[in-house]
Amino acid sequence: MWHSFALEHPSGPTAGNMYFLTPSTALAGARIVRKVLEDPLLSEDEDDMQDWTEEEIVFLHWRLLQDVQALALPETPLDEKLATLRWIFTEPEKDMRPFSFANCLRVVGCSPLSPIAYCGAVDCETVRAFIAAGAKRWLEETLSRYPSWVSEALARNPEWIDAQLTRNPQWINEQLKRLTQQRDLFA
């Protein structure tokens, strides 16, 4: 059976074989969420599991690569940018794993089922170098939207900020709200 993909949740009823890609699949660890069927008593056991077609798997590799485009957008949340950069610049020994950045480039570039025109093998390190050249500017553009303490904290301890955002993507928003409420108490 074929499955359908949607980049947004449809407003009306859909078939039971409709799948939704989460907004940031790199951030979500390539998580795919299956539409919850209207009947809550239906269980998902192995009999309900369906194999993916090769075309669907290639499409998922392509969809993961779409997150890279969001790096250049200032409005992309900081946690999403950090997660995408972590995925792109992962350890070299992870490059051959399914859905790694390098593997996504290989699958999308070489598969005849790819949604893009055939381009052949893509040099992952060349793409990484291009992304690395723009990453600082892209992060600065996003950080300019936050109070200065966020940029300063990221410069002083990037691993700690990354860990906070990985644990809770709303961490910065919660800190901003907390600081605003504290200032109101002393106004």
Residue range 120-131, pLDDT digits in tens: 888 999 999 999
Cross-sheet strand order for the sheet of 18-21: 4-6, 18-21, 32-34
pLDDT reported for residue 19: 41
Q: State the pTM of this model.
A: 0.67
Residue ranges per domain, the chain? 53-145
pLDDT 10s digits, 9-37: 445 544 444 444 434 444 333 334 344 34
Helix, strand, coil shares, percent, the chain, to 5? 50, 5, 45
Cα torsion at 91, 92, 98, 104 (round to 10°)? Answer: 100
